[in-house]
Amino acid sequence: MSVGYYPKREKVGLEDLFKGLVTASHILHCHGVLDAYGHISVRSPDNPATFWMPCNISPALISTPDDLIEYNVEDATPVEKNAKPGYLERHIHSEIYKRFPAVNSVVHSHCSDMLPYCISEVPLKATIHMAGFLGTGVPVWDASSHYPSGSKHDLLVRNAQLGASLSAAFKPATSAGFIYSKFRSALPSQIGGSQEPDKEPNHAVVLMQSHGFTTLAHGIEEAVYQAIYTKEAAKAQTTALTIRNAHFGHSVEGKVDVEGGGKIKSAKVKAEGDIKYLSDKEAHDAWEANQDTISRPWGLWCREVEVNPLYQNKCPGGEDE
C-alpha cells in the first residue's frame, strides 16, 4: 500500500501503490463518497513530476494496473502516448500537485451529503472531532467567475486555468484561521511534512459551487479518511440544523407600527438554540490526535471491500503482503 507516505515508511513500490489506489477507489465507493463519478489520485513515489489515477471508468469497477494512467503534473497529459481515455477533470489533481509539493493524494467527489453546502451559503464547519481537519470554515470555490474566454460554462474543471484557480482556494490570501498547514509543516518529511510552510495548504477541503468537493492529503490513507469524514461531518451538521430548527423554531422580534396597521418594523428573526462547532484549538488538537489512528479505519475499510464480490483488486501484491 501507500504507507510510504503515511504513516512511517520512507519507501513504497509501484505494486504497493497500484494495489492501494485500486483499494482506495473501492473504499470511497463503498462509503458513498464516489458513485459512478469522482476519482482519487496519488503522486508517483519515484517521480514527483507525475501522478497516477484511474482511467475513465467507474471507481467500483477499477481492478488492474491496466486501469491506471500516469500523468504529467505540469499539464495533465498522459506519460504514455497510447494511454486509455482519462477523466476530464484530471486538471484538479495536476494543479494541486503543482502548487503543493508535499501533497501526494487528491480526492474529488460529488457526494450528495455535501451538495447542500455547495449551494446554500450555509458554511460547512467541524462539528465532530473526527473531522477536525475541516477547521472553523471550509472555502467554497465558484467556477463561474473563472471560466476562460470561449470555454464551456458547465462547472467542470476541464483545463489548467480552472484547476489552478481551484488549487489556489486551498491557500487563500486570507485564511479562516485553521492551522492545518502549520501542523503539517512541523512533521518529518517522510510522513508528509514540509520545510516550506508557505507551500502547505491552509485548508484540507474545498467545496465547489453546485458541484461537489475536493480534498488533498499527504497520502492515500489520509485522503480517504478525510473524504469519508468530510461526508460524515456534513451529515452530522445537516441533522443538527434540522432537529434544532424543528425543536426550537423561530421567533420574530421588532417594533409594532400601530398606525401602519400592526406591521412589524425593523424585524429580526431569532432562532433559539445553537450548533456547537469546534473551535480552532479543538479542531487542531482533534486532527492531531487522529493522525496516529488512521491505520485503524483503513484496515477495516480494506477488509470491507476485500470480502465484497463487487470489488475486484487484481493488482499484484507488493512489500506489504
pLDDT per residue over 144-157, tens digit each?
A: 989 988 889 999 99
40: in domain: yes
Average pLDDT over residues 126-139: 95
295: in domain: yes
Return the active site residues.
89
Poorest-confidence range of 109-118, 178-187, 267-276? 178-187
- Which contacts qualify for 306-313: CB closer than 8 Å, 24 or more apart? 308/26, 308/30, 310/60, 311/26, 311/29, 311/30, 311/60, 312/63, 313/19, 313/22, 313/23, 313/26, 313/63
5: in domain: no
Query: Is the predicted pLDDT of residue 107 greater than 90, yes or no?
Result: yes
| CA–CA gap between residue 100 and residue 95 (Å, rounded) | 9
Query: Is the predicted pLDDT of residue 314 greater than 90, yes or no?
Result: yes
Residues above pLDDT 90, as percent of the chain: 70
Residue 262: band (very low, low, confident or very high) from pLDDT cuts 50, 70, 90: low
| CA–CA gap between residue 24 and residue 132 (Å, rounded) | 21
Average pLDDT over residues 28-41: 98
Query: Does pTM surpass 0.95?
Result: no
| Domain total in the chain | 1
For residue 257, give its domain range. 14-306
Average pLDDT over residues 111-127: 96
317: in domain: no
Poorest-confidence range of 51-55, 239-243, 245-249, 275-279? 245-249
204: in domain: yes
Average pLDDT over residues 117-138: 95
Contacts of 61 (CB under 8 A, 6+ apart): none
316: in domain: no
248: in domain: yes
Q: Give the CATH number of the domain where residue 259 resides.
A: 3.40.225.10
161: in domain: yes
